[in-house]
Every structure is written in structure tokens, then in C-alpha cells.
Chain A
């Protein structure tokens, strides 16, 4: 442990009988510099939920412009008219900033940290039977680095005013897309957002990179070294496997992004030429000097960001596996194929980055190899889908919010996986590249799969966090509205893409062949608004259930994982009885066992046997 004295309020409660447990013990510490992994997990979760609303609001701005171009924004029109553009409508600069920051915030402040940061932190020690992370202080730092990240993103939004080096307020916010391709992002003259906004954006991305790296090192070390006795690698829940593989991905991919981020920052601030070729005349500025190559950025960026899209979905795959198995009351179908396919996705994930660059002007022969590897990565994903369906097959599913969100995950991930084949095929990608088809694809994976898994995960592990169950009725209403709104918003995007509507257009209807798509876009925006406001139901449900939810015991779902042997919420050090693992995590409905679940910590010999009976680890 570190030498810094840190208080752990939850620790004081761990010895009390369950009735006196302060159920909000973890929540009450969120403002503290706590090194308790559970508190850090909840800190991440709360920050991510707030950022989800911020990112969602930015997305609604984008949707408003696409449905009602150049019309005054409702609710915020006055604010926009005062600060951004006269008349209260969305200016093109503001629009480019909106989609840039929507993507940046959703990716770096919501999707990546909610999986690895919130659930990874909360679950890893609990599921492997450890008292805490291997490096608690590092763990705390990984959260507290998110605070400057949030600040930098706020500056990148243009909220800092002239002092932050941004002219024009939110019109001058970072606006190069979340991919930040140079030369647009490298030269200050290239666009308003490239002046100050780009600097803050890069600061934020590098800062969140440091946070992820600290988390990644911690997760790997913890999972390798701190498993409870009996927790062999192939007795680990798939959540842990996926977190482990994700941590490896992050450790290998992130340094590339950090290095390249600093290179771009030097191009932008100091005038170096890593990504800027000579002789460019941007906005009538002096011609550029130096002999950089803008494609270099794309290679380096996607070398990180393609593994990163798996960082954004692999943990969800693991969590869904655990939740499905528990809610169907039967073992996961094909545990080892699930592990191997996770590893295959991660491994292949490193050699597919070029599929983002098929038409970028890189050597076309490279496009062929990247196409083959990209199409083959659909294989492990397909195996996983079949195994999830196999897990439900023959089970006794309970149709609660957890199960519904997990089935939505599977159902929507199928769409995201299949649409990926279109863009993996280079000739077809020539046409659909940079159209709304791509937008549809990654929203089906990142929202349809990952966020629905997160919603399910919140319902599933909420009792472990706060000792109470979430409200089922409101959970189902939230699920219903989100699912309908989601499909209504994102399914038509496939059609927009097929119709050739490019991404990132402030006004696509300027082009006659896209004019007739306006009514469809209006329908999608209505769905997006429904979906956006449905999230307040989730927030409300979380708040209400924290205080008034049905009280849950240690194991409300009759689940097998080690986390359910700890009190709800677990005190400092997690386990009042040191856990020993006797079997894998998916022994549900074993006909040789009287109960329909057989927890990992339950000894094979009944507890009422004489105490001197030898406790032998069973040969698996």
C-alpha cells in the first residue's frame, strides 16, 4: 500500500451485521481522493453518465441541423443567438464543432471509461476475489486525470473564451472531426477550430490517454497476480477475460496515440512539419515549409483507434456473457471459444487499421491485405453471436431489464457486425466511405451494443454498488423508449448512406440528389429526441433507487460470480470471508446440485460437514 494516509469510510462498516450497512457508503466518498476501487468505479460511472448527457445534447444539436437546417434551435435558440450566431441557428463552424465534440466526448469520456474505468474498476477485484487493485494510488490517479480531461474538453468546446486562445467562442471550438486529420488540424490557418480549440482537444486526448494507461497497467497486474486461490485463468468470468484483453490492447495501442498526439501538437503550436508537406497555401497564408506527410497521421491514429474500437466493445461482450448466463440460468455456451474469439478479435484488431484508409491514397496493394484481415475479423464476432444465442437456447430466461438490454445487445450487434462487411469490402467501400452508412455502422456497435450492455450492467451490478435494486418498471420503460428511439434514429442512416449522403455536412440539401432525404432526417431527429429524453428516466431511476429501491441482499440474482459473496455494498477490502474458488463461474442448473446455481465460492463439501473434513480443491 502507499504511504499516503487515506481514509476509507466504508471500511468501518464492513464488520457490522448486514442490517446496519450504510448502503450509500460508496456514494458518499465520490468527492474524495479515495483509493478504493469501488469508489473509483462509481466516480467514473457518475462522470460518464453526466458526459453521456453532454455528448447527447451535442448530438441533438447535430440532428436538429440535419432535420431543420438553418432554423432557430428550440430551447437554446436565445443562448445561441447571444453567444454563437445571430438568429439562434447553428452556424457551419458551430456544426462542425458539434459533431467533433460529440464524438470526442462520447468516445473518450463515455464509452471507453465507462467500460474499463467504471465497470472494470468496480468489477475486477470483486470478480477475481482480490481486496483491491494492485496499485490503488495509480487507480485513483487514473480517475483524477479525467477531471483535467473534462476541463480540456470544455476548453475545446470553446467555453474558455479569449483567455483560452479561442476567438469566436463556441464557433472556434475544436472542429476537425474526432479523427483530427492534418493538415486541417495541424495548421492554425486552416479553420477557426484549428487555432486554440485544437490545442485543447489534443491536451484532452493526451490526458485521457495517461488515465487509460494507468488503468491498463493496473488491470493487467491485478488480474495476473491477485486472483483468489482456485481462480485459475479458465475459471475467470468472461468479464475479466475481456477486461484483461482490453487492458493488453490499450497498453500496446495507446503509446502510439500519445506520441502522435504530441507530434500533432508540435505541428499546431510550434510549427514543426511532421504531417505538413511543403508548398501548401492554406487560406492565403504563406506557403508551408518542410516535408511532412499527412498520411502518417492517419496510419498512426488508426493504429491506435482501430484497436480502440475494440476497447470500446470487448468489455461489453464479456459483461453480456456473464449477464446472459446468469439470467438464463444456464452455463455460457462455449466458454473457451468465447475466450479464444475475444483474443482473436484483439489480435486481428491490430492488423486492420488500414480499412479506414482504403481511399486515402495509401498504396492500393495494402488495401487488399487490409480487406482480407478486416473481413476475417467478422469471424470471431460471428462465433460470439452464435454462442450468445446458444446461451439463451435451452435456458429459463427471466425477462428483466438486464436480460432485455443484453438481448438488445446481441440483436443490434448483429446489425453492426453485418454492416461492417460492406465497408470491409474495398470496392463497396469506395462508394460508402464517409457516408452515413459508416455512421450507422459504428452507432450500432457503440450505442446498440456497448451502451445497451452498459444499461444492462447498471441494472445488474447496481445492487452491489448501492445495496438496492433498481426499479424494474421504469427500467423497462427506459429500455423500450431507448430501443425504439435508437432504431428509429440509426437504422435509416444505413439508407442515407446508400443514397450517398456524406457525413459531416452542415447542409446536405444543398446538393439536389439529397434533397428528398429531408423528411427521413426529420423522422430520425424526432426519434433521437425521444431517445435523448428517455435517458432522464435512467438517471431518475438511478437516483430514486439509490435512496428508495428495494433492498438487495448479497446475491439478489442468485449468481455465481465471486462479487456476489461480498456484502452489498462491499466494505473496504471487499470480502468479509476470504473467497476460495472451487469451480467456474457458469455452473447454473447443474442437475447434480440441488440449487439452480452453484457459486464459485461454495465448497463442494456442504458446510455442515465436520470442520476437520479436508477442504480439497476439486480437480476441474
Chain B
């Protein structure tokens, strides 16, 4: 029976490795390649840690299997080998403290840059974000926010506020407080693709979390705080947007979509919103309306 258990403990790590190896091919893996530059770097860090931990996992499980097999052999009736009477080894302790310490320290320090770029405000790609606003011909001063939308979470939906247009049809900057010209949408976030864009994240009631799995973006929306986050979608397509922080019984159904589109497409979307929201009930063709 002891041999069965030796094999048992050696076998399950093998199954685990095999399952992980086939997982990507059956869809039990990351939801597609990351769709943002920062997402790529997060994935790279993920794979780096995966490699290090897989080596450690295989190494320790092999070690465990080895000591189990040799231990089981020592209990065979015909074996005269004595039990190893030892209280430990100072050298081994030093080795297996320092080597993991160095590896762990490396992992920790290697991550810092990506985190700083993602979250520390001074490291935000401000110039690139301003370039997007210039391309959209936003009428702005240097003091205006670079955010393109304000996303407000509430039970159980996402409310989005975009800046509107002035009388000449120029895009206005997003103000901290709602303006009469602002445009609104629910569960449908449109932003330009292929450039870093920033949103302000708020919540109207309890805590929520803004989660774009394909872009590897997540940020809690905290009551009382306005949190700026930026991201860059690499492809012009729809992405999933969902809530990642328990916000009540309907937490699971805070389903929305994030549409990354071209600059022109984004402006067009805002114009459609503008015409819909300014629709006065009189049936006449609005110049900009296409749909």
C-alpha cells in the first residue's frame, strides 16, 4: 500500500501540469491575447511568474516524491539502512533561504515599473492622451482634465457621462461637475482606440470595480472618490466591461460593453448622442444624424 501512496503523491502534480498544459487549447486560459500595451506587459509578468513557480512546483514535488520513495524503501523488511539521525543542516538552511530570497526580491523589484505606469499619476502618458484630444479638436485649456468620460457605477449599471459640443460643434472638455451640454449613456462606453485614453471613475452608491478583462484593467470605484484610470485598446472592437467588486445581489449582472473605435467613429457616436438628447420631438432631418 505504501507504494500506492508514493505514486499517488507523485502523480497528482503530474496531472496538474498536464491540465495546465492543455488548458489554453480548451479555453481555460486568458481570454485572448491582451488587447492593450500594458496588458501585454502584465501578461509577460504573469508568464515570468508562471515559469518561476512551475519550476519551484516541479522541484519541490519531485523532492517530496524522492523522499517518500526512499523513505518507503527504508521501511522494507530486508533493508538495514538506518534512519538518518540529524537535526538539520546549517548550510542547507542558508542555501534555501538565500536563493528563494534573491528570486523573490527579483520578482518584486521587476514588477514596480509596470505598476507605476498604470497607477502613479505622474507616470501617466499625459502627452499622448493630450494628442488624442487634439486630434478630436477638443476646445481645451492646459488646466482642463484629459479624461474623455466619467464612468459612474451604481446598483447595477454603469452610467457614462461624455463632454458635449459647443454651439459651433466643437468638442468640449470634461468638467468635474455635470454640464448642460454633457452627453449620457448607460452600459455602453465608447472611446478612441489605439491611443491612451483616461476616464474618471466614480460610484453613486456602494463600491464597485471597473473590470475590462481583455485589456487587463481593473480599478475599484470607491464611494466619495474620483479615480482616474487610463488604458489603451489596440483593436477597434467591442470588449466586455463588468463589475469585479461585490455590490449587492445583482453584482453579476452589471454587464456593459466597451467599444473602442476610430477617432472619427467616436466623434460620430458623440454627435449621435448629441442629436438624440437634443431631439425636440419635431420631425425634421438633423444634419449630423446618420442613424
Residues of A within 8 A of B92 (CB): 334, 386, 390
CB proximity of B235 to chain A, nearest CB, Å:
15
Complex alpha-carbon distance, A283 and B154, angstroms: 9
Report which of A191, A330, A513 forms a contact with B240, defined as CB distance below 8 A. A513
Complex alpha-carbon distance, A184 and B223, angstroms: 10
Considering only residues 342-395 of chain A, those with a C-beta below 8 Å from chain B are 359-361, 364-365, 367-368, 371-372, 375-376, 378-379, 382-383, 385-387, 389-390, 392-395
A421 at the interface (CB under 8 A from B): yes
Are B16 and A407 neighbours in the complex by a CB distance under 8 Å?
A: no
Report which of B1, B104, B112, B205 forms a contact with A376, defined as CB distance below 8 A. B104
Residues of B within 8 A of A586 (CB): 87
Considering only residues 77-99 of chain B, those with a C-beta below 8 Å from chain A are 82-89, 92-93, 96-97
B272 at the interface (CB under 8 A from A): no
Are A371 and B87 neighbours in the complex by a CB distance under 8 Å?
A: no
Are A375 and B97 neighbours in the complex by a CB distance under 8 Å?
A: no
Report which of A419, A427, A502, A513 forms a contact with B53, defined as CB distance below 8 A. A419
Considering only residues 256-291 of chain B, those with a C-beta below 8 Å from chain A are none
Residues of A within 8 A of B251 (CB): 96, 504-506
Report which of B16, B115, B120, B217 forms a contact with A491, defined as CB distance below 8 A. B16
Are B71 and A294 neighbours in the complex by a CB distance under 8 Å?
A: no
Q: Given A397-B68, A407-B64: A378 and B104 within 8 A (CB)?
A: yes
Q: Given A295-B222, A371-B108: A281 and B85 within 8 A (CB)?
A: no
Residues of A within 8 A of B207 (CB): 181-184, 294
A175 at the interface (CB under 8 A from B): yes
Q: Given A430-B42, A491-B16, A504-B251: A183 and B205 within 8 A (CB)?
A: yes
Report which of A336, A483, A487, A596 forms a contact with B83, defined as CB distance below 8 A. A596
Complex alpha-carbon distance, A402 and B176, angstroms: 63
Number of interface residues of B (CB under 8 A): 100
B178 at the interface (CB under 8 A from A): no
Complex alpha-carbon distance, A424 and B49, angstroms: 11
Complex alpha-carbon distance, A363 and B247, angstroms: 22
Q: Given A394-B84, A415-B57, A431-B46: A191 and B249 within 8 A (CB)?
A: yes
Q: Given A278-B224, A392-B71, A397-B72: A430 and B217 within 8 A (CB)?
A: yes
Q: Closest residue of chain A to B206, judged by CB?
A: A184
Complex alpha-carbon distance, A393 and B72, angstroms: 10
Complex alpha-carbon distance, A360 and B107, angstroms: 22
User: Number of A-B pairs whose CB atoms are under 8 Å?
Assistant: 329
A507 at the interface (CB under 8 A from B): yes
**Per-position binary interface string of chain B over residues 227-269, scored 1 when its CB falls under 8 Å from any chain A CB and 0 otherwise:** 1000000000000101111111111110100000000000000
**Per-position binary interface string of chain B over residues 98-119, scored 1 when its CB falls under 8 Å from any chain A CB and 0 otherwise:** 0011001101110110111011
Complex alpha-carbon distance, A184 and B156, angstroms: 13
Tell me which of A39-47, A303-311, A492-500, A550-558 binds B. A492-500
Complex alpha-carbon distance, A431 and B255, angstroms: 18
Are B249 and A382 neighbours in the complex by a CB distance under 8 Å?
A: no
Are A425 and B108 neighbours in the complex by a CB distance under 8 Å?
A: yes
CB proximity of B89 to chain A, nearest CB, Å:
8
B27 at the interface (CB under 8 A from A): yes
Complex alpha-carbon distance, A367 and B63, angstroms: 35
Complex alpha-carbon distance, A191 and B262, angstroms: 40
Chain A: interface size category: 35 or more
Q: Given A404-B5, A433-B244, A505-B252: A330 and B85 within 8 A (CB)?
A: yes
B136 at the interface (CB under 8 A from A): no
CB proximity of B221 to chain A, nearest CB, Å:
8
CB proximity of B232 to chain A, nearest CB, Å:
14
Q: Closest residue of chain A to B47, judged by CB?
A: A428
CB proximity of A597 to chain B, nearest CB, Å:
11
Are B87 and A389 neighbours in the complex by a CB distance under 8 Å?
A: no
A72 at the interface (CB under 8 A from B): no
Complex alpha-carbon distance, A506 and B46, angstroms: 28
Are B84 and A330 neighbours in the complex by a CB distance under 8 Å?
A: yes
Residues of A within 8 A of B105 (CB): 372, 375-376
Complex alpha-carbon distance, A508 and B244, angstroms: 11
Are A96 and B249 neighbours in the complex by a CB distance under 8 Å?
A: yes
Residues of A within 8 A of B220 (CB): 359-361
Those 5 A-B pairs whose CB atoms lie nearest each other, nearest first: A394-B84, A277-B224, A334-B88, A364-B119, A500-B213
A-B contact sample (5 more), CB < 8 A, given A398-B75, A421-B49: A92-B252, A279-B224, A375-B104, A378-B100, A510-B253
Interface residues of B (CB under 8 A from A): 1-2, 5, 9, 12-13, 15-16, 19-20, 23, 27-31, 41-42, 45-46, 49-50, 52-53, 56-57, 60-61, 63-64, 66-68, 70-72, 74-75, 82-89, 92-93, 96-97, 100-101, 104-105, 107-109, 111-112, 114-116, 118-120, 155, 203-207, 209, 211, 213-214, 216-225, 227, 240, 242-253, 255
Can you list 30 contacts pairing A with B, beta carbon distance less than 8 Å?
Answer: A92-B250, A93-B249, A175-B249, A193-B249, A279-B224, A293-B224, A330-B84, A360-B220, A372-B105, A372-B109, A375-B104, A375-B105, A375-B107, A379-B104, A383-B96, A392-B64, A394-B83, A396-B74, A397-B2, A397-B72, A399-B2, A407-B9, A430-B216, A431-B42, A495-B28, A499-B27, A502-B243, A504-B252, A511-B240, A512-B240
